[in-house]
Structure 1
Amino acid sequence: MPDWGRTFLDHANQTVKIVFFSHYFTPEGNAPASRTHDHCARWAAAGHEVTVITCAPNVPNGEVYEGYSNGLWPVRETIDGIEVVRVWTRIRPKPGKKDLILNFLSYMFSALFAFVFFVRRPNVIVATSPQFFCGVAGVLASWLKWRPLVLEIRDIWPESILTVGAMGRSPIIRALEVIERWMYRNASHIVAVGSGYRTNIMKKVGLGDRISVITNGVDPEQFTPEERCLDIVETYGLQGKFICSYVGTVGLAHGLDIVVRTAERLRDAGRDDVVFMVVGGGAKLSSLRETVSELRLDDFIVMTGHLDKPQMPKVLATSDACLVHLSNVALFATVIPSKIFETMAMERPIIMGVKGPARDIVMMAGGGVAVEPEDDAELFNAVLRLAEDPELARAMGSDARRFALKHFDRNDLAATYLTLLREVASGQPVTTVVADLPAIGPEERRSKSSSSAGVAAKTQAEQVG
């Protein structure tokens, strides 16, 4: 890491000028876009100058949204007090691996061009990864204008690429691993979204005193309990059904074959009163649709495709329970999916098919049941348990919202992040934030059993307490 040698923010009350590199941003509705927007909007509302360098919105289908263009020249707009600079990237509909790599690289070069020629010199730079080369852009930008960099890590690349089988080990992967360590070492500070990521980075490069954990959270005003949306019920023929929703990316990492296998169990058991609603797009959506059609499971699995972020509260409100699931591999036990906080805030119980701190959070809240990832027998039993005990489901949902608002309010997390940025920008010693699991008293712990497999919420809470 360069020795900056002087202070860039001279007074504690001075406005902080922040430049944020993010490949994804509003109106896109994925987790990185939401996190970046929600934090930046709060910093801007507090009087700070925030610029986000991003590209034309096109996720998940690789098609530029109506009202936007993907021109070579950077375009400015203002969203919720944030100056947004949109740069050209190589966008292709339904992109393959080569298209994605070229898209990521084109963002890096275009974003650096915009940073040098279109953006005022900031006090501090933030770059969020993935995508991987967004972090590279952040390091190069910090060198070009001699400003400190906060590198935000939301996924461990290239390790996660290997984990999902998107690429095999090769000279390209080894080169990316070298660049990964170079990025870590050249950041003034690193913000990880979970303690598992922090541990992973420390094993590679050390730097424990320069790595903080600031988790994802939820906007309590946007995600507020409401009545079931009748339009959604009627559109997808869900009248009289217990609806278990999966909301998010339908990708390589998510192991949604478990939904198909569980739906077969429901059909065999004659439980046509239970349905899965899969909401989202991604690389595996087409193959999942084909499988559902081939197995004639259309009455048990409804797939909406991608829906815009503003529709998510209504989708969650229409659900009786929500599935959160990742494939059963060690790396994913470090992941804390952002959707758990939104689901909790909407007072919906979670069926948690993810190990590690994400499961611990839900169990500490008493906000759901846990199942072994990829175990369709456990998922089948968990869904039926909630379907047959609506009072239990409602109690879990109520506990979940109370816990989420107390410990994962986006307003509080944004304030913590801003304090860190101010310290980095001013050259002060940075107070490292290291906890992703809240410190709670015994009165908050719940003793509901977590699944038919016998994993108890109380046991989980005691293990992490």
Structure 2
Amino acid sequence: MHIAVLNQHHQNPDCPATCRHYSFMAELAKRHRLSLVASDGWRRARITDNYPWVPEGVELHECKVAYANKMGIAQRLKSFAGFAGSAFKRAMQLPKPDVIWAVSTPLTTPWVAARVARLRGVPWVFEVQDLWPSFPIAMGAVKGRWVKQRLYKMEKSLYQSASHIITLSPDMTEYVASLGVSREKITTNYNGTDLPLVDAALPQEVEALCLKHGLQGKQVVLYAGTYGRANDIPTLLQVVEILSGNPHIHFVFTGSGYYEPQLRQLAQRMPNLLLLPPQPRTEVFLLFKLAALSVVSFNNLPVLAANSPAKLYDSLACGTPVLVTNPGWTKAFVEEHGCGWYTPAEQPDAMAQVIEKLLAQPEALLQAGARGEAIARKVFDRRQLVLQVEEVLARAAR
């Protein structure tokens, strides 16, 4: 079948990104024709040049639209609108596909997909990566009651218009179903991780990385991800300071985003914080294997509890237990499978106490890590998750 993919935020493994769709498209292109409509916004984020920008067999139809995590609200809106206009034009020019697969965020991407699908008489599948507009509204990025009502109305109409909806977490599925969408129309497909890349991170490379950064004998707490407004970074900054007196605990942060200047300032003052630049996909697994514990943190906002954070999957697949701050499905998951712990968001003293207590129990950490790796290999393997997405697309096309 011919699958048209609309994704503003296309990235490849040379970028510091999860690359879910790169992995999926690489597999699907072996059996189907794929046309990708994407922006070039993340090309500038490439750190290495080890992978083609799109997988072999994927036809790229690129829109020149800038984007970066550091952008303010006005810049992001301009980027979203720019991609919507360009993507609509390119999608209309494609040979008629059998199905359109639209990846949100932002909500403007599925909006384009719905318009193209209606005009061309083809079905479309809506993949929900974050809950929009609930997320930007909760973050204060959307002002005005009328605007909010219009966005919620648009969201619901898109769920109704789509042939099928893919969500990345059970809580997202519950949210969509709560809007009156039939559960038969919704499939939960975890974000997942790339086990071949996990396995390629060899012990000797992990040891070399440890020596390079002088982390021998240290218990490393890792934060690998966006330093964004939603990631509770101010709490993590305070935790680093609180635990600076413990010579055995060392924090490693890798990523970029809004709070990067504050992190740089803290790293200059605190000897227990190593701040690394963003890492390509292949390298970040070495850091997860180096760490004794990783932190998956978000602000104390109900909408963020539905998130499907890539670092959760990557960490567990590497055998590193996680400390989560979301009270939603991630808390339930790590507690059910004994592969992590929960501490409330925006409570630095509580988080510091939990971290110090956990790192004093190395055997318990190892056991939790082993349980996490086992469940990750069972349910988070993208080579299996893509088969579920393929079936959803095939059913929609039929």
Matched with 1:114 is: 90
Matched with 2:12 is: 27
2:300 to 299, 317, 328: 328
Query: Deviation of residue 218 (structure 1)?
Result: 1.7
Matched with 1:96 is: 72
Farther-moved stretch of structure 1 (218-227 vs 322-331): 218-227
Query: Deviation of residue 377 (structure 1)?
Result: 2.9
Amino acid at match of 1:410: R
Residues 39-81 of structure 1: CA deviation (Å, up to 9, x unaligned) = 2212122x1112221111427xxx465899xxxxxxx975233
2:277 to 305, 318, 340: 305
Query: Deviation of residue 365 (structure 1)?
Result: 2.2
Query: Deviation of residue 380 (structure 1)?
Result: 1.9
2:219 to 227, 242, 245: 242
Structure 1-normalised TM-score? 0.78
Distance in 1 between residues matched to 2:75 and 2:221, nearest whole Å: 34
Amino acid at match of 1:238: L
The question of whether the paired residues in 2 share the 8 Å contact of 1:258 and 1:376 is answered with yes
Structure 2-normalised TM-score? 0.91
Residues 8-27 of structure 1: CA deviation (Å, up to 9, x unaligned) = xxxxxxxx211110112232
Greater Cα radius of gyration, structure 1 or 2: 1
Q: Which structure 1 segments of 5+ residues have no match?
A: 1-15, 69-75, 427-465
SS at 1:53 equivalent: strand
1:87 to 2:68 alignment: no
Distance in 2 between residues matched to 1:202 and 1:275, nearest whole Å: 43
Matched with 1:182 is: 157
1:18 to 2:3 alignment: yes
SS at 1:128 equivalent: strand
Distance in 2 between residues matched to 1:79 and 1:206, nearest whole Å: 34
Q: Which structure 2 segments of 5+ residues have no match?
A: none
* Identical counterparts, % of pairs: 21
Distance in 2 between residues matched to 1:103 and 1:65, nearest whole Å: 19
Amino acid at match of 1:348: T
The question of whether the paired residues in 1 share the 8 Å contact of 2:263 and 2:275 is answered with no
Distance in 2 between residues matched to 1:176 and 1:291, nearest whole Å: 39
SS at 1:106 equivalent: helix
Distance in 2 between residues matched to 1:226 and 1:90, nearest whole Å: 36
Query: Deviation of residue 244 (structure 1)?
Result: 0.3
Distance in 1 between residues matched to 2:303 and 2:74, nearest whole Å: 25
Give the aligned CA root-mean-square deviation in angstroms: 2.5
Residues 307-338 of structure 1: CA deviation (Å, up to 9, x unaligned) = 22221111212212111111122112222312
Distance in 1 between residues matched to 2:356 and 2:109, nearest whole Å: 43
Distance in 2 between residues matched to 1:67 and 1:30, nearest whole Å: 10
The question of whether the paired residues in 2 share the 8 Å contact of 1:77 and 1:85 is answered with no
Matched with 1:128 is: 103
> Compared with structure 1, are the counterparts of its residues 234 and 172 closer, same or farther at alpha carbon in structure 2 (3 Å cutoff)?
farther
The question of whether the paired residues in 1 share the 8 Å contact of 2:16 and 2:280 is answered with no
Amino acid at match of 2:232: G
> Compared with structure 1, are the counterparts of its residues 162 and 289 closer, same or farther at alpha carbon in structure 2 (3 Å cutoff)?
farther
Distance in 1 between residues matched to 2:184 and 2:228, nearest whole Å: 34
Query: Deviation of residue 128 (structure 1)?
Result: 0.9
Q: How does 1:269-418 map to 2 (within 5 A)?
A: 270-290=245-265, 293=268, 296=269, 298-418=270-390
> Compared with structure 1, are the counterparts of its residues 412 and 66 closer, same or farther at alpha carbon in structure 2 (3 Å cutoff)?
closer
Matched with 2:32 is: 48
Q: How does 1:168-247 map to 2 (within 5 A)?
A: 168-224=143-199, 226-227=202-203, 229-247=206-224
Amino acid at match of 2:303: L
Query: Deviation of residue 169 (structure 1)?
Result: 3.9
Distance in 2 between residues matched to 1:393 and 1:66, nearest whole Å: 32
Number of residue pairs matched by the alignment: 393
Matched with 1:145 is: 120
> Compared with structure 1, are the counterparts of its residues 407 and 301 closer, same or farther at alpha carbon in structure 2 (3 Å cutoff)?
same
Query: Deviation of residue 124 (structure 1)?
Result: 0.6
Larger helix fraction of residues: 2
The question of whether the paired residues in 2 share the 8 Å contact of 1:332 and 1:355 is answered with no
